[in-house]
Chain A
C-alpha cells in the first residue's frame, strides 16, 4: 500500500499568514494527488486535484505543488474561514490512501 505521510499534524497561524502543509508519498504517484479541507463538524471538500488543479469554487489563495514525491498545499493569506483540518489523498493505486491530516488553528 502507498503510505502518505502528512506534516505537520497541527499548525497554529495568524490571519493573512502564509501556510504550507506537506505530504510525502512512499513511492512515485505522479500527479495523482488531491487535497481536502474539512471544516469543524462538516464533510470534507475537494480543494486540489491532480496535485496542482484547483477544484471548482475554491479561492485562488489555495495552491498545490509537487517536488518528486513530496506534495505541498499552500494558503497564501490565511482567512478565518480556512480553519479546519486538511488531508491529502493519493489516487495512483488501490487502496486509495489518505494522509493523517493537519489541524489548522488560529494563533
Chain B
C-alpha cells in the first residue's frame, strides 16, 4: 500500500524558513517523480514543486520560484520542501504527492501557518 506521511509544519513568522518532510513507503520511491501541492484554507489546489527521479531536475511555478526548494533522498525514501522568505499567502495545507504528470497518490497533508 502506498503511504505518504508529511511532517514539519507549524506556525512561522513572515520572512522566516521552514522545512517540510515526506516519508514514502509501499512503492519504489526512486522510480517516481514527486511533488508538493498546497491548499490555502477554504481554497483550491495549487501545484508548488516537482522533482525528477534522481533529483537532477526541479520545477516550480513563479509564485514560489527562488524561495522554495524541493529535494529528495532516495536512500531514505524521503521528499523535502525547504521554504524560505515565507509570506502570509503561503499559509496552506501542504500535500506530498507521487506524480506521473498527474498526482496519483497524496499524503494526508501538513498545515503551515505564516503569521506574526
Contacts and interface: CB of A to CB of B under 8 A. Distances in A.
B44 A43 contact: no
Interface string A10-46: 0000000000000000000000101010000001111
Interface residues of B, number: 19
Nearest to A49: B102
A98 B46 contact: yes
A29 to B, nearest CB: 11
A88 to B, nearest CB: 10
Interface residues of A, number: 20
Interface of B: 37, 44-47, 50, 59, 61-62, 95, 101-109
B108 A43 contact: yes
Interface of A: 32, 34, 36, 43-46, 49, 55, 87, 89, 91, 94-101
* Most chain B Cβ neighbours within 10 Å, of A36, A94, A96, A101: A96
Contacts of B37: 44
A88 B45 CA distance: 10
